[in-house]
Amino acid sequence: MRSAAIRGSHPRMSVEAIKRRLDGSAEWAVTQASQEPPRFRRSQRAHLGCTGDAMQNLLAKIFFLDIPSLIDSAWRRIDFRANAERHYVPGVPGHIDPRPLWMMPPFWTFAILVFFVSYGPNWSGLCATAPESLVKFARWALGLVIAGGALFFAYKLRKQPSDLATRRFDRLSRIGERVTPFRKRVVTFGAQMTALVVLVLALKTAGYVAGLGSDPVTCVVDSLRAFLRFALCSGAVIGIAAQASRLTSTTLLLCAQVAAIILVALVHWFLLADPSTREISDLPYRHVFAFWAPCIVAVLLLAPTLVKVMFPMPWLEARSKATAMPSPVPPDAIAVPHQAGPGDAAPTPVDPNDLQNEANRLKEWLAATELFANRVEPVLSWRRLFFALIYGPFYHPLHLLLIPAWTALVASPQWLYLSVSLALAFSVFLLVWGNVSSRWEEINVHIDRLFMRGAPLIVSVLVIVLAILRVLQFDYISTILDALPFGTIFGMVVMTYMLFWFVEYWMNRVLAVCGSSDPMRTNLPWLTLEPPLLRLIYASLRRADLSCRTE
């Protein structure tokens, strides 16, 4: 009836035009309003009052739709490749193998933390490890490795920026949005220039590393104690990397890393460092972090025991024993015994902790869920943009100031105000993008998770305060940071972040597996009874869920 009425009042409209009008597409309404008679335009204004005036500004679409979409896609790919604990190995049949620990961020957090425990916030003591000529050669070699790796990945991924933009515009074309050639060229060129900036920064980092040994003042000693300190840290890192593939228990792997950190601290404090040695000598010296960090990580040794006491799960232990015991009785019959009611009339109650029932529910849920749903493109309107511009920056002041604060902490004096201004603008855009689309809020969620919760929040507030004092030219802070932006203060901030991230990761890991062996290596139903695709999905669910009930 409604279609007939519309067609009768507007005989020139086709059936497809009527469908699109009924769908309430704001962008279609704006483009069609100019082609319709005035009577149709007046009726269309009421519709636009409900959905918001669709923005046809090309720059607005580029800055608030295309750029955040590309950043979000690139960020999700990097996050997946960096943090995935398993990878699918194609074959007949295909299987899922665990990634080596040394390829994952938790291991490199441990490695950097070990060097901070021994060297403190300033790693200038590395120059005393060997004769100056050998140190200079090693730094040049490391710089060449960094530069070569950057150029290799730049060549290997040279088509990725263009492909990323092409996939986005192909997706827009499939949903019926018209994309101008100028918009495609601008976004593709911006993606390529962003990749080029990343390459330039990597090459500049390589040059900075290679140039560290050019100043003879920084490398004035050659000591056996300095060499033993470097060998101690390197041996601890290599030892954990070698043992990680053999240790299948989260508890044992955690204890091994904590023991390595404590051992490095004890050897450094009592055998290598002399009480009269100071940092300026480039020799092993006693600093606060060498005492503080081992005390903090030692608390992790209590985590597996406390988890078992606070979250007892006898049903999981019974199932594990029943699975390991060779018996013709099915494991489910042992883990969940039948409890007969009066006269065997009452049905057996369903155990909410039964893993087999949970696996069955997950299979039912998987069959009814679309795993490859298309992304929803947000409709950009002035009202939505105004709300995002107000709610994003003004309701998240710490998020707004954190990225400019990092920039102010490391920028050189001549580029300080320009760098901080650009970082502040980027921070504003991040918060606005996150309020334009919930999907693009993921980057802000990661920043909040890493820097705005728990102990890292204290460090972040300190960084913001130091940055404000430097921008305002507070003499004591600005003098120190202007003279050496990547000096002791920067090192203290980084090593404190690393310590808290290491502790938080392994506390969550132990809580996730509830003190048992690694959940990716136990005989759980979703890993032993399902085909490889379902096992991969279930493994992803286990990684994302830190609830003890499901582990």
Q: So where are the chain's domains?
A: 2-51, 60-84+131-221, 382-508
Is it the case that residue 246 has pLDDT exceeding 90?
no
The C-alpha atoms of residue 117 and residue 264 are separated, in whole angstroms, by 8
Percent of the chain with pLDDT over 70: 70
Q: What confidence category does residue 501 fall into, taking pLDDT thresholds of 50, 70 and 90?
A: very high
Mean pLDDT is lowest, of 188-192, 287-291, 303-307, 352-356, for: 352-356
Pick from 48, 6, 3, 56: nearest CA to 24: 48
Q: What confidence category does residue 260 fall into, taking pLDDT thresholds of 50, 70 and 90?
A: very high
Q: Please, are residues 136 and 214 in contact by the beta-carbon 8 Å criterion?
A: yes
Pick from 491, 454, 459: nearest CA to 112: 491
Can you list the alpha helix ranges (DSSP code H) found in 484-531?
488-513, 525-528
Q: Which amino acid is at 139?
A: R
The C-alpha atoms of residue 472 and residue 487 are separated, in whole angstroms, by 20
239 in the Ramachandran plot: left (φ > 0), alpha (ψ -120 to 50) or beta?
alpha
Q: What confidence category does residue 278 fall into, taking pLDDT thresholds of 50, 70 and 90?
A: confident
Is it the case that residue 308 has pLDDT exceeding 80?
no
Q: Give φ, ψ of 387 to 5 degrees.
A: -65, -45
Pick from 402, 544, 509: nearest CA to 110: 509
pLDDT of 104-124, one tens digit each?
899 999 999 999 999 988 887
Is it the case that residue 88 has pLDDT exceeding 60?
yes
Is it the case that residue 151 has pLDDT exceeding 90?
yes
Residue-wise burial string across 386-400, b where 16 or more C-beta atoms lie within 10 A, e elsewhere: eebbeebbeebeebb
Compute how many other C-beta atoms are within 10 angstroms of the C-beta atom of residue 409. 18
> Who contacts 206 (Cβ-Cβ below 8 Å, separation ≥6)?
143, 144, 146, 147, 150
- Longest CA–CA span in the chain (Å) reads 96
Q: What is the mean pLDDT of residues 281-290?
A: 88
| Helix 455-471, helix 397-410: angle, nearest 10 | 60
The C-alpha atoms of residue 145 and residue 58 are separated, in whole angstroms, by 42
Specify the DSSP class assigned to residue 472.
T
Q: Give φ, ψ of 86 to 5 degrees.
A: -135, 155
State the pTM of this model.
Answer: 0.74
Q: Please, are residues 84 and 97 in contact by the beta-carbon 8 Å criterion?
A: no
Q: Please, are residues 335 and 320 in contact by the beta-carbon 8 Å criterion?
A: no
pLDDT of 345-385, one tens digit each?
445 555 555 556 766 777 777 777 766 666 678 888 888 88
Give the model's pLDDT for residue 373.
65
Specify the DSSP class assigned to residue 415.
G
Give the model's pLDDT for residue 313.
62
Compute how many other C-beta atoms are within 10 angstroms of the C-beta atom of residue 134. 12
